[in-house]
A and B are shown apart, each in its own frame.
Chain A
Amino acid sequence: MKLLIVDDEERFLHSTQKLLNRKGYDVETAPSGEKCLEILGEKAIDVVILDVKMPGIGGMETLRRIKREQPMTEVIMLTGHGTAEYAVDALLRGAADFLVKPVSIPELIEKVEAAMARRMVLEEKIRAAKALKAAEAGLSTQSSDPAGPEETITNTANSGKKQ
């Protein structure tokens, strides 16, 4: 499981990364939205923790792009602003959750785990769906056989008529 923390506070990235590493998480960091998208393009990331207020493209815009390019990636928004509007907006745009700074690390981990679980469930479902689709695909190949003769019959009939 891979985690990406995006925040313009270097020290926050540093110490949080260290802590989470120690707790056994694989953590990447990015100091800006741009860098975040770059990393996402290179590595497979499961959960992104995204600060809202950053220089460059802000958190909300970054969220929008992540969701466009990799809708499967879970994003937890992190902000100093605890207003309902932001929360609602972020959730509507596809964020998995919304945390208000200063968030306690146990809570953060909890949310990450929840997001991860959700992602896992989602992946499971997708896999199942894909399997189903694959199964259906397989079934349809098999069932094309009866159609063949029918076609043939028709064709035959037609040709018979023509003939």
Chain B
Amino acid sequence: MKPESADNIMRRTILSSMILIPIIPFILVIFIGYFYSKIAIENRTVESMQRIVEDHRQMIDTFLRERRTNLEFIINTHAFEDLNTSRSIEFVYHNLRTISNAFVDLGVFDEDGLHVAYHGPYQLEGKVYKKEPWFKEVMETGVHISDVFLGFRDYPHFIIAVKKTENSRTWVLRATIDTHIFNTMVGRIRIGDTGEAYIINRDGVFQTQPRTGGNLLETDPSRLKYLKHHDGIATYTSLRDYGWFGGLSTPVHDDYLVATVWLKEKPWLLVARQEKRDAFSGLRAVMYMIISIAAIGSATIVLVAFNQTGRLLQRIKDVSGEKAHLENQLIHATRLAELGQMAAGFAHEINNPLQIIRSEQALMDFILTEMKEKKEITNDQSIEELEDSMHQMIVQIERCSGITQAILKFGRHTEPQIEDIELKDFIPEIAGTISNKASVHGISVKQLIDEETPMVRGDKGQLQQVLINLFNNAIDTIVDRHGSHGGKLSISAKAAGDKWVDIAVQDNGTGISPESMEKIFSPFFTTKPPGKGTGLGLSVCFGIVEGLGGKMDVSSQVGRGTTFTVRLPAATA
């Protein structure tokens, strides 16, 4: 496996912390938000369910109470004799029907349970009900509302019976309630799409037809749990019952929000229920919202993290690049200094043999001249050649000597004498020393010294050396390109920020090729013909400028010209 690069490791570290650090609190906040809105929605849903159930109970209770009071009113306003005929009971029944069409029939019983008079769809007159539990109860308590039952008619119904005792006669008035109407009334509850309501009796038997999951008069054992006695409204729900995500998961059986309440008129339990998925549909909306917020938020965080990591890495790269560059420069400068010292020692040693050669040459020359004068040698041709050879020796010694002098200058380590230099005076002075040479080669020299140029800190002698070197290079390259017409050389100086001053020497010479560009500051690099340049000029300049705490820069375009910029520290006012 390839070892991972430091860059990649750094990228991963930055990226993961940039993602994780904001995303953890973000997710936390989202969860807390979700949790609280869930509780709020749940409470609101349950409360509204309870309100609806309570209203519904009141309606059903009212219905039962009204039906009971209807009968009580009839029994209280009539004597047994008024109603013991089928004619009279029919009349009263019809009156009753105008009040409520839930009444299916009406009948009168004497105290022995004999069905004295009856009006309704069945033939019940003459039947004896003494043994029937409802009859027993009404005789005991005075009023009775029965559970739904099939009875003699084999049709589900329930009855309301009231008793009256008057002049030592006791009798009972009984009416049958249309279960269809009751059913409809109970079942008609509006809670969401899946809301429904039904009634079960104390044994869990359905008293009305539930819309789902069960039949009238049957028992659903799963609903027996609701039957414990309670005051007010009981609700059945739990977070786990409908899942963390508000029923987003597939609904399980009996996945309902349930509210129950006992009726007042009759020990019947009103049960209202709604599928949790439906009940808590608000929660689902919140869920979706939260998921999208989480998704968008996370995506944003990730995007920003990637973006910022990229930038950060780029910045780090830039900085380390700069650092490497500086290090390189430093190494270069130290190398230069070392090289300088070495070269100086070397040049010094060369000077001694050179001196000897010179002496020998002088001696030979002298002897030759003597011999010539004494006519000891007479071959003019040979003498001439010897003399030429002698002369060449001098020339070559001069050349060597020039090189060693330049090297010695380059390697010289003298402490600069730092002072504040006024460029407005200094540059024209230096330019003056080359103006002659420039005009000989037809070069126009321009000086552009900004009025605002601050003084620089440096060594006058050294700065002079730098500028003269740059001027000479410029003149050389101009002559190379233009001969003695059309050369342009400009010297400019201006402030660069508060702390620096730039001195630029610009020429319209040949320019520097990219290959040479890398080497021009190296000692002994020269493109000039042998004997013409030592290649030390720029490296000396570089060393000096570096020593003054400044920087040297060059920009060049082949065929256009070159600008050397010397940046020196401005004198602090």
A82 to B355 alpha-carbon distance, docked (Å): 14
* Residues of B close to A80: CB separation below 8 A: 347-349, 351-352, 355, 404, 408
Chain B residues whose C-beta falls within 8 Å of the C-beta of A22 in the assembled complex: 363, 366-367, 370
Answer whether residue B265 sits at the interface, using C-beta atoms and an 8 A cutoff.
no
Distance of A19 Cα from B404 Cα, bound (Å): 25
Among candidates B349, B360, B394, B405, residue contacting A100 with C-beta atoms closer than 8 Å: B405
Pair B358/A104 contact, Cβ less than 8 Å: yes
Residues of the A chain whose Cβ atoms lie less than 8 Å from the Cβ of B359: 12, 15-16, 19, 105
Asked if A81 is at the interface (CB within 8 A of a chain B CB), the reply is yes
Contact B355 A101 (CB under 8 A): yes
Residues of A10-33 contacting chain B, CB below 8 A: 11-12, 15-16, 18-19, 22-23
Query: In this assembly, does B401 line the interface, its C-beta being within 8 Å of a C-beta of chain A?
Result: yes
Assess whether B397 is interfacial by the CB under 8 Å rule.
Answer: yes
- Kindly provide the distance from the CB of B341 to the nearest chain A CB, expressed in whole angstroms: 13
C-alpha gap A102/B355 in the complex (Å):
4
Q: A12-B355, A16-B359, A104-B358 are in contact. List 8 more A-B contacts (CB 8 A).
A: A15-B356, A15-B363, A22-B367, A80-B347, A81-B348, A83-B414, A85-B414, A102-B351
Task: Tell me whether A9 is interfacial, beta carbon within 8 Å.
Answer: yes
Q: How far is the CA of A53 from the CA of B348 in the complex (A)?
A: 10
A-B pairs, top 7 by smallest CB distance, nearest first, are A105-B362, A80-B351, A102-B354, A102-B355, A101-B351, A19-B363, A80-B348
Residues from chain A with a CB closer than 8 A to the CB of B348 are 53, 80-81
Would A102 and B412 count as touching, CB distance under 8 A?
no
Nearest-neighbour CB distance to chain A for B144, whole angstroms, equals 137
Instruction: Report yes or no: A11 in contact with B356, Cβ–Cβ below 8 A.
Output: yes
Q: Number of contact residues on B: which range applies?
A: 20 to 34
Q: Answer yes or no: B357 CB below 8 A from chain A CBs.
A: yes
CA distance A82 to B414 in the complex (A): 13
Residue numbers in A under 8 Å from B357 (CB-CB)? 102
Least distance between A24 CB and chain B CB atoms (Å): 11
Q: Is the CB of A15 within 8 A of B360?
A: yes
- 0/1 per residue, B325-350, Cβ < 8 Å to A? 00000000000000000000001110
Let me know if B366 and A19 touch, CB within 8 A. yes
Chain B window 37-74, contacts with chain A (Cβ cutoff 8 Å), 1 for yes, 0 for no: 00000000000000000000000000000000000000
Q: How far is the CB of A158 from chain B (nearest CB, A)?
A: 70
Determine how close the nearest CB of chain B comes to the CB of A6; give it in whole angstroms.
13
A121 within 8 A of B: no
Whether A18 contacts B408 in the complex (CB less than 8 A), given A9-B352, A53-B348, comes out as no
Residue of B nearest to A11 (CB): B356
Interface set of B (CB-CB < 8 Å, partner A): 347-349, 351-352, 354-360, 362-363, 366-367, 370, 394, 397, 400-401, 404-405, 408-409, 412, 414
**How many residues belonging to A are interface residues under a CB distance threshold of 8 Å?**
22
Residue-wise, chain A 16-60 has the 8 Å CB interface mask toward B (1 for contact) of 101100110000000000000000000000000000010000000
Check: A126 CB closer than 8 A to any chain B CB. no
User: For the complex, is A103 an interface residue (Cβ under 8 Å from B)?
Assistant: yes
CA distance A85 to B362 in the complex (A): 30
CB of A78, distance to nearest CB on chain B (Å): 8
Residues of A whose CB lies within 8 Å of any CB of B are: 9, 11-12, 15-16, 18-19, 22-23, 53, 80-83, 85, 100-106
> Cβ of A83: which chain B residues have Cβ within 8 Å of it?
408, 412, 414
Which applies to chain B's interface (DSSP): helix, strand, loop or mixed?
helix
Kindly list chain B residues whose C-beta atoms are within 8 Å of the C-beta of A82.
405, 408-409
- Chain B proximity of A111: nearest CB distance (Å): 14
Set of chain B residues within 8 Å of A103, measured between Cβ atoms: 355, 358
With A81-B348, A82-B405, A83-B408 known to touch, is A101 a contact of B362 (CB < 8 Å)?
no
Q: Min CB distance, A152 to chain B, in Å?
A: 69
Enumerate chain A residues within 8 angstroms of B355, measured Cβ to Cβ: 9, 12, 80, 101-103
Residue of B with least CB distance to A83 = B412
A84 to B356, CA, bound (A): 24
Query: Within the complex, what minimum Cβ distance (angstroms) separates B396 from chain A?
Result: 11
Q: Which residues of B contact A81 (CB under 8 A)?
A: 348, 408
Chain A residues whose C-beta falls within 8 Å of the C-beta of B400 in the assembled complex: 102
Pairs A–B under 8 Å by Cβ, sample size 17: A9-B355, A15-B359, A18-B363, A19-B362, A22-B363, A53-B348, A80-B348, A80-B355, A83-B412, A85-B414, A101-B354, A102-B354, A102-B355, A104-B358, A104-B362, A104-B394, A105-B358
Report chain B residues within 8 Å CB of A53: 348
* Cα-based distance from A49 to B356 in the complex (angstroms): 15
The listed residue with most A CB atoms (<10 A of its CB), out of B359, B404, B405, is B359
Q: Across the interface, do A12 and B366 meet the contact criterion of CB distance under 8 Å?
A: no
- List B contacts of A100 (CB < 8 A): 405
- List B contacts of A18 (CB < 8 A): 363
Residues of chain A within 8 A (CB-CB) of B397 are: 102
Tell me the nearest residue of chain A to B348, going by C-beta.
A80
Instruction: Report chain B residues within 8 Å CB of A15.
Output: 356, 359-360, 363
Q: Name the residue in A11, A15, A80, A82 with the highest tally of chain B Cβ atoms < 10 Å from its Cβ.
A: A80
User: Which residues from A are CB-within-8-Å of B404?
Assistant: 80
Q: How far apart are the CA atoms of A80 and B358 in the complex, in Å?
A: 14
Q: How far is the CA of A27 from the CA of B370 in the complex (A)?
A: 20
CA A80 to CA B409, docked complex, whole Å: 12
| CB proximity of A10 to chain B, nearest CB, Å | 10
